[in-house]
Amino acid sequence: MEKLGFIGLGVMGKPMCRNLIRAGYSLVVYDIVKDAVQELASEGAQAANSPAMVAELCDKIITMLPNSPQVREVLLGPDGVITKVRPGSIIIDTSSIAPLAAREIAAELAKKQVRMLDAPVSGGQAGAVKGTLSIMVGGDAAVFEQCRQILGSVGSSVIRVGEIGAGNTAKLTNQTIVAINIAAIAEGMTLAVKAGVDPSAVFEAIRGGSAGSKMLEAKTPLMLAQKFDPGFRLALHIKDLANVLETGKEVGAPLPLASMVMEMMQELKADNYADCDNSVLAKYYEKLSGKPIGLPGE
Of the candidate CATH numbers 3.40.50.970, 3.30.565.10, 3.30.70.360, 3.40.50.720, the domain formed by 3-164 belongs to 3.40.50.720
Sequence spans of domains, the chain: 3-164, 169-289
Distance CA 54, CA 27 (A): 10
Phi, psi angles (nearest 5°) of residue 201: -70, -40
- pLDDT for 52-111, tens place per residue? 999 999 999 999 999 999 999 999 999 999 999 999 999 999 999 999 999 999 999 999
Task: Decide if domain 169-289 falls under CATH 1.10.1040.10.
Answer: yes
Annotated catalytic residue, options 84, 112, 130, 171: 171
Q: Give the contacts of 149 (CB within 8 A, at least 6 positions apart).
A: none
List the beta bridge partners of residue 123.
none
- Is residue 160 within 8 Å of 256, Cβ to Cβ? no
* C-alpha atoms less than 13 angstroms from C-alpha of 187 in its C-beta half-sphere: 10
- pLDDT for 276-287, tens place per residue? 999 999 999 999
- pLDDT for 149-176, tens place per residue? 999 999 999 999 999 999 999 999 999 9
Residue 171 annotated among the catalytic residues of the structure? yes
Q: Give the contacts of 56 (CB within 8 A, at least 6 positions apart).
A: 84
Kindly write down the DSSP assignment for every residue of 240-291, as one continuous string: HHHHHHHHHHHHT---HHHHHHHHHHHHHHHTT-TTSBGGGHHHHHHHHHSS
Q: Report pTM.
A: 0.92
Residue in 163, 154, 3, 139 with CA at minimum distance from that of residue 64:
154
